[in-house]
Amino acid sequence: MNPAEFHHNVDPAEVDRDDSWQLILFVAGQSPKSLMAYSNLRKVCDSHLAGRHNLRLVDLAKEPAMAKLHKIVAIPTLVRETPSPAKRIIGSLSNIDKLLHDLDLGPAVSFPNTLT
């Protein structure tokens, strides 16, 4: 995973829209769970939030102070800052149905489906 890929942006004019999503994914280096969480989140953003999200990746191995600042106790952790209410999702984000549900992008369903 190249650090240049970490910041997955939209046009700055789009970020100020009422329906824009501000997401921060906290990871620890290039651990398998961190890589999986990033990959899975990118897939969801591309398919469900195209053109209306700002995804920031924070590598706590390089920026450990961010863990305390954002009260991160487990990694990977996804923080949805907007839309309100803010949410935290912990784990590899491997179950697409659960991730969509947790982000309020999909209906409550059983969660057998996983991304690989």
* Structure tokens, 76: 């990977």
**Amino acid identity at 14:** E
* Structure tokens, 81: 């800052």
Is residue 115 within 8 A of residue 98, CB to CB? The reply is no
Q: What is the mean pLDDT of the chain?
A: 83
In the sheet that holds 53-59, the strands lie side by side as 53-59, 21-27, 77-82, 87-90
pLDDT at 63: 96
State yes or no: pLDDT of 44 exceeds 60.
yes
Is residue 92 within 8 A of residue 40, CB to CB? The reply is yes
Local structure of residue 86 (DSSP, 8 states): P
pLDDT at 27: 97
- Report the alpha-carbon distance of residue 109 to residue 106 in Å, rounded: 8
> What separation in angstroms does the CA of 68 have from each of 9, 58, 63, 71?
25, 13, 10, 5
Q: Is the dihedral of CA 69, 52, 1, 90 positive or negative?
A: positive
- Report the alpha-carbon distance of residue 33 to residue 27 in Å, rounded: 8
pLDDT at 2: 45
Percent of the chain with pLDDT over 70: 76
